[in-house]
Amino acid sequence: MSRNAESTAFRSALEVIRAVEPRVADAIGAELTDQRESLKLIASENYASPATLLAMGNWFSDKYAEGTVGRRFYAGCQNVDTVEALAAEHARELFGAAHAYVQPHSGIDANLVAFWAVLADRVESPALKKAQVRQVNDLSEADWFALRRELGNQRMLGMSLDAGGHLTHGFRPNISGKMFDQRSYGTDPATGLIDYDRVAEAAREFKPLILVGGYSAYPRKVNFRILREIADSVGATFMVDMAHFAGLVAGKVFTGDFDPVPHAHIVTTTTHKSLRGPRGGMVLCQPELADQVDRGCPMVLGGPLPHVMAAKAVALAEARRPDFADYAQRIVDNAQALAEGLLSRGATLVTGGTDNHLVLIDVSGYGLTGRQAEQALLDSGIVTNRNSVPQDPNGAWYTSGIRIGTPALTTRGLGTAEMDQTAELIHTVLTQTTAGANADGTPSKAKYTLDPGLADKVARQATDLLATYPLYPGIDLS
Q: Which of 69, 41, 128 is nearest to 426 (CA)?
A: 41
pLDDT at 123: 58
According to CATH, the topology of domain 59-319 is Aspartate Aminotransferase; domain 2 (3.40.640)
Bridge partner residues of 282 (DSSP): 269
CA distance 209 to 238: 9
pLDDT at 132: 47
- Rounded to whole angstroms, how far apart are CA atoms 447 and 373? 10
- Domain 323-467 -> CATH class: alpha beta
Whole-number average pLDDT of the chain: 91
Instruction: Spot the catalytic one: 66, 121, 150, 257.
Output: 66
241 catalytically annotated: yes
pLDDT surpasses 50 at 3: yes
Provide the CA 163 distance to its chain's centre, in angstroms.
16
Lowest mean pLDDT among 15-29, 169-183, 335-349: 169-183
Residue 360: CA count within 13 A, CB half-sphere:
25
With a pLDDT cut of 70, the percent of the chain lying above it is 92
227/242 Cα distance (integer angstroms): 14
Q: Of the ranges 136-145, 227-236, 255-264, 364-373, which one carries the lowest mean pLDDT score?
A: 136-145
Q: For the chain, where do the domains classified as CATH 3.90.1150.10 start and end?
A: 323-467
Quote the strand ranges of 382-474, DSSP E. Answer: 382-383, 385-387, 401-405, 434-437, 443-449
Q: CB count, 10 Å around CB of 376?
A: 26
Q: What is the mean pLDDT of residues 319-343?
A: 98
Question: According to the model, what pLDDT value does residue 182 have?
Answer: 87
pLDDT at 179 over 90: no
Amino acid 2: pLDDT? 57
Per-residue confidence at 65, pLDDT binned at 50, 70, 90? very high
pLDDT at 11 over 80: yes
pLDDT at 127: 45
List 45, 64, 447, 463, catalytic entry: 64
Q: Which residue from 109, 91, 79 is spatially nearest to 280, judged by alpha carbons?
A: 109
Q: Environment class of residue 164 by beta-carbon count within 10 Å: exposed (0-12), middle (13-18) or buried (19+)?
A: buried
User: Model confidence over 419-437: pLDDT tens digits?
Assistant: 999 999 999 999 999 999 9
Q: CB within 8 A of 337, min separation 6: which ones?
A: 415, 416, 419, 420
Query: Strand order of the sheet with strand 181-185?
Result: 99-101, 281-285, 266-270, 237-241, 210-214, 155-159, 181-185
pLDDT in tens, 254-297: 999 999 999 999 999 999 999 999 999 999 999 999 999 999 98
- Give the Cα separation of 313 and 102 in Å (integer): 9
Q: Is the dihedral of CA 369, 371, 375, 378 positive or negative?
A: positive
Asked if pLDDT for residue 142 goes beyond 90, the answer is no
From the candidates 84, 241, 355, 374, which is the catalytic residue? 241
Among the ranges given (167-171, 351-355, 377-381), the one the predictor scored with the smallest mean pLDDT: 167-171
User: Residue 237's pLDDT is what?
Assistant: 94
Query: Contact, 295 vs 118, CB < 8 A?
Result: no
Domain with CATH 3.40.640.10 in the chain: 59-319
- Give me Rg for the CA atoms of the chain: 23
pLDDT bucket at 447, cuts 50 / 70 / 90? very high
Q: What pLDDT digit, counting tens, does each position of 35-57 carry?
A: 999 999 999 999 999 999 999 99
pLDDT on residue 100 = 98
Q: Are 215 and 246 in contact (CB under 8 A)?
A: no
pLDDT-derived band at 396, boundaries 50, 70, 90: confident
Q: Is 205 exposed, middle or buried (0-12, 13-18, 19+ CB in 10 A)?
A: exposed
Residue 349 has what DSSP assignment? B
Q: What are phi and psi of 450, to 5 degrees?
A: -145, 130
Spatial neighbors of 197 by CB under 8 A, at least 6 apart, are none
Q: Return all residues near 213 (Cβ < 8 A) that are at least 6 apart.
A: 159, 222, 224, 227, 238, 239, 240, 241, 260, 264
- For the ranges 157-166, 185-194, 248-257, the lowest mean pLDDT is seen at 157-166
- Is 66 a catalytic site residue? yes
User: In b/e form, how buried is each residue of 378-407, taking b as 16+ CB within 10 angstroms?
Assistant: bbbbbbbbbbbbbebebeeebbbbbbbbbb
Is 392 part of the annotated catalytic residue set?
no
Measured in whole angstroms, how far is the alpha carbon of residue 232 from the centre of its chain? 27
Residues in Cβ contact with 398 at an 8 Å cutoff, skipping those fewer than 6 apart: 369, 370, 371, 386, 445, 446
- pLDDT average, residue stretch 307-335: 98
Q: Which residue is catalytic, options 187, 237, 270, 369?
A: 270
| Mean pLDDT within 174-196 | 87
Is the distance from CB of 427 to CB of 342 less than 8 angstroms? yes
**What is the rounded CA–CA span in Å between residue 43 and residue 38?**
14
Lowest mean pLDDT of 34-38, 86-90, 342-346, name the range: 34-38
Grade residue 135 by pLDDT with cuts at 50, 70 and 90. very low
Note if the bond before 298 is cis, omega within 30 degrees. Answer: yes
Given the DSSP bridges, would you call strands 181-185 and 155-159 parallel, antiparallel or unpaired? parallel
Q: Which residue type, as a one-letter code, is found at position 177?
A: G
Q: Which stretches within 38-154 are classed as H helix? A: 50-55, 78-95, 107-122, 125-133, 141-150
Amino acid 457: pLDDT: 97
Predicted pLDDT at 144 = 63
Given the residues 72, 155, 273, 276, select the one marked as catalytic: 273
Q: Is 270 an annotated catalytic residue?
A: yes
CB 267 within 8 A of CB 284: yes
239, pLDDT greater than 60: yes
The residue with greater pLDDT, 322 or 176, is 322
| pLDDT on residue 125 | 41
What's the CA gap between 285 and 266, in Å, rounded?
A: 4
Whether the pLDDT of residue 126 is over 50: the answer is no
Total-model pTM: 0.90
DSSP one-letter code for 274: G
Q: Which of 308, 330, 311 is nearest to 49 (CA)?
A: 311
Give residue 131's pLDDT band: very low, low, confident or very high (50, 70, 90): very low
User: Which residue in 40, 155, 220, 279 is the catalytic one?
Assistant: 279
